[in-house]
Structure 1
Amino acid sequence: MKSFAKVAGSLSTIVVLTLPSGHVASQTVRMNKPNIVIILADDQGYGGVNCYPHIKRIVTPNIDELAESGVKCMQGYASGHLSSPTRAGLMTGKYQQSFGFYGLSTPHVGGIPKDQKMLSEYLLENGYSTACIGKWHLGDYIRSHPNNRGFQTFYGFINGLHDYYDPLVGGSWDGVYSGLAFTLDNMDPVVDMEYSTYEYTNRAIRFIEKNVDNPFFLYLPYNAIHSPLQAPEELIGELANNPAEVGKDDIARAMTFALDQGVGKVVETLERLGLRENTIIFYLSDNGAVDYSDKWEFRGKKGSYYEGGIRVPFIVSYPPEIAKGTVYDQPVMSIDIAPTIMALAGISQDDMHGVDLMPYLTGKNKDVPHDVLYWSTEKESDTQVEKNSFAIRQGKWKLVSDPAIEKDCNLYDIETDPQEMIGLKEKYPEKYKELYAMYLEWINQMPDELANGENARLKGMELMRKYQKNLKKAGKKAVPLSFGEQVSRKK
Structure 2
Amino acid sequence: MRLLESIGHKRFFFFYHTYQVHHRYWLHEGFSEPEARECEYGRFGLPEPSKACHIAYEGEIAYMDHYIGDLFDFLRDRGLYDDMLIVFTSDHGEVFVEDSRGMTEHGYLLYDELIRVPLIVKFPKGRFRGTLVRDQVRIIDIVPTILDVLQIDGFEGDGTSLMPLIRGEGRGSLNAISEFYPFPKRYAYFPELNTPKLSFRRLDAKLIVDLGRWSVELYDLLSDPGERTNLLADREAGAYGAYTVALGLFSALLDELERSHARALGMAGSGERVEMTPELHDRLKALGYVQ
Q: Of residues 155, 158, 163 in structure 2, which corresponds to 1:353? A: 158
Name the structure 2 match of 1:389.
Answer: 197
Cα deviation, residue 219, structure 1: 0.6
Name the structure 2 match of 1:367.
Answer: 171
Cα deviation, residue 275, structure 1: 1.8
C-alpha distance in 2 between matches for 1:301 and 1:430: 33
For residue 282 of structure 1, give the secondary structure of its aligned residue in structure 2: strand
Say whether 1:439 aligns with 2:253: yes
C-alpha distance in 2 between matches for 1:243 and 1:421: 28
Q: Is the 8 A contact 1:322 1:361 kept in 2?
A: no
Letter paired with 1:375: S
Q: Is the 8 A contact 2:200 2:253 kept in 1?
A: yes
Q: Please list the CA deviations of residues 295-320 of structure 1 after superposition, one character each: whole Å capped at 9, or x if unmatched.
A: 7x9x9973221211200122112253
Q: Is the 8 A contact 1:287 1:309 kept in 2?
A: yes
Letter paired with 1:367: R
Cα deviation, residue 260, structure 1: 0.9
The alignment's TM-score, normalised by the length of structure 2, stands at 0.68
CA RMSD of aligned residues (A): 3.7
Cα deviation, residue 331, structure 1: 0.7
Cα deviation, residue 240, structure 1: 1.8
Cα deviation, residue 272, structure 1: 0.9
Name the structure 1 match of 2:88.
Answer: 283
Cα deviation, residue 378, structure 1: 6.0
C-alpha distance in 1 between matches for 2:222 and 2:61: 30
For residue 231 of structure 2, give the secondary structure of its aligned residue in structure 1: coil
Q: Please list the CA deviations of residues 9-35 of structure 1 after superposition, one character each: whole Å capped at 9, or x if unmatched.
A: xxxxxxxxxxxxxxxxxxxxxxxxxxx
Q: Of residues 217, 220, 223 in structure 2, which corresponds to 1:413? A: 220
Letter paired with 1:435: L
Describe how 1:317-336 pairs up with structure 2 within 5 A: 317-318=122-123, 320=125, 322-336=127-141
Q: After TM superposition, what 4+ stretches of structure 1 lie above 6 angstroms from structure 2?
A: none
Change (3 A) 1:311 1:244: closer
C-alpha distance in 2 between matches for 1:333 and 1:282: 13
Say whether 1:229 aligns with 2:25: yes
Q: Please list the CA deviations of residues 312-346 of structure 1 after superposition, one character each: whole Å capped at 9, or x if unmatched.
A: 12211225354433332111111111111111222
C-alpha distance in 2 between matches for 1:327 and 1:248: 32
Describe how 1:301-312 pairs up with structure 2 within 5 A: 302-303=106-107, 304-312=109-117
Q: Please list the CA deviations of residues 353-388 of structure 1 after superposition, one character each: whole Å capped at 9, or x if unmatched.
A: 21222331232x122252x22223469xxxxxxx85
Change (3 A) 1:458 1:435: same
C-alpha distance in 2 between matches for 1:228 and 1:301: 11
Q: Is the 8 A contact 1:301 1:308 kept in 2?
A: no
Q: How many residues in Structure 1 have an aligned counterpart in Structure 2?
A: 240
Describe how 1:161-180 pairs up with structure 2 within 5 A: none
C-alpha distance in 2 between matches for 1:224 and 1:243: 16
Letter paired with 1:392: F
Name the structure 2 match of 1:212.
Answer: 8
Name the structure 2 match of 1:376.
Answer: 179
Change (3 A) 1:241 1:352: same
Change (3 A) 1:444 1:319: closer
C-alpha distance in 1 between matches for 2:38 and 2:93: 27
Q: Larger RCO: Structure 1 or Structure 2 (Cα < 8 Å, ≥ 6 residues apart)?
A: 1
C-alpha distance in 2 between matches for 1:300 and 1:395: 26
Gaps of 5+ in 2: 40-51, 183-194, 233-237, 266-272, 283-290
Q: Which has the higher helix share?
A: 2
Say whether 1:265 aligns with 2:73: no
For residue 253 of structure 2, give the secondary structure of its aligned residue in structure 1: helix
Name the structure 2 match of 1:181.
Answer: none
Cα deviation, residue 278, structure 1: 1.2
